[in-house]
Amino acid sequence: MKKHGKERLIEKKVFITGGASGIGRAICTLFAQEGAQVFIADIDTNGGLETTRLITKRDGVANFQKTDVSNPQSVLESIQAANDKMGGIDILVNDAAAFVFGTVEQTSPEDWERVFGVNVLGTVHTVKEALPYLRDSLSPAIVNIASVSSFIAQPAFIPYNTSKGALLQLTRCLAMDLADDGIRVNCVCPGSIYTPATERHIAFEKANKEDFLREAGEGSFLKRVGKPEEVAYAALFLASEEASFITGTQLVVDGGATV
Ligand SMILES: NC(=O)c1ccc[n+]([C@@H]2O[C@H](COP(=O)([O-])OP(=O)(O)OC[C@H]3O[C@@H](n4cnc5c(N)ncnc54)[C@H](O)[C@@H]3O)[C@@H](O)[C@H]2O)c1
Q: Is 233 a catalytic residue?
A: no
* pLDDT tens digits in sequence order for the chain, 259 residues long: 555 556 999 999 999 999 999 999 999 999 999 999 999 999 999 999 999 999 999 999 999 999 999 999 999 999 999 999 999 999 999 999 999 999 999 999 999 999 999 999 999 999 999 999 999 999 999 999 999 999 999 999 999 999 999 999 999 999 999 999 999 999 999 999 999 999 999 998 899 999 999 999 999 999 999 999 999 999 999 999 999 999 999 999 999 999 9
Question: For residue 206, what pLDDT is reported?
Answer: 93
Domains and CATH numbers, the chain: 13-191+227-252 (3.40.50.720), 192-225 (no CATH)
Instruction: Give the residue among 35, 70, 79, 85 at the shortest CA–CA distance from 55.
Output: 35
Question: For residue 6, what pLDDT is reported?
Answer: 66
Please report the DSSP string for 123-178 in residue order.
HHHHHHHHHHHHHH-SS-EEEEE--GGGTS--TTBHHHHHHHHHHHHHHHHHHHHT
Ligand 1 pocket test, pick from 30, 40, 43 with the greatest ligand atom count within 8 Å of Cβ, gives: 43
Question: For residue 62, what pLDDT is reported?
Answer: 98
Rounded to the nearest angstrom, the distance between the alpha carbon of 103 and the centre of ligand 1 is: 21
Integer Cα distance of 182 and 195 in angstroms: 33
Question: For residue 180, what pLDDT is reported?
Answer: 98
Rounded to the nearest angstrom, the distance between the alpha carbon of 180 and the centre of ligand 1 is: 30
Cβ atoms of 247 and 181 within 8 Å: the answer is no
- CA distance readout (Å), 228 to 30, 43, 79, 240: 10, 19, 25, 18
Candidate list 133, 160, 194, 233, residue with the active-site label: 160
SS3 assignment, position 87: coil
Which residues, including other chains, have CB under 8 Å from residue 83's CB and lie 6 or more apart?
A: 89, 133
Atom of ligand 1 nearest to the CA of 22: 16
Atom of ligand 1 nearest to the CA of 195: 15
Residue nearest (by alpha carbon) to ligand 1 atom 26: 96
